[in-house]
Amino acid sequence: MLDKIALALTIVGALNWGSIGLFRFDLVSWIFGGQTAILSRIVYTLVALAGVWCISLLFRDTEPVETIEK
């Protein structure tokens, strides 16, 4: 579940950076009242932590675990 939350937050961050790059529009800043607003800073921090968490996804074994049926 934590992986899915982290991935969703990382996608939000990527879309925000895309809007900044393409349109010079910071969606998070616009929604929460500026880059220095406490809610914006919380969202930026959560996105950053989610990105760090998603680094672990690169190194995990994704092979399904075989179960032995009796």
Tens digits of residue pLDDT in 17-56: 999 999 999 999 999 999 999 999 999 999 999 999 999 9
* H helices present in 1-70, as ranges: 2-23, 27-32, 38-55
Q: What is the pTM of this model?
A: 0.80
Domain borders along the chain are 2-59
The pLDDT assigned to 69 comes to 74
Coil, strand, or helix at residue 58? helix
The pLDDT assigned to 25 comes to 96
The pLDDT assigned to 70 comes to 64
Task: Tell me the backbone φ, ψ of residue 26, rounded to 5 degrees.
Answer: -90, 105
The pLDDT assigned to 27 comes to 95
Residue carrying structure tokens 């996608």: 11
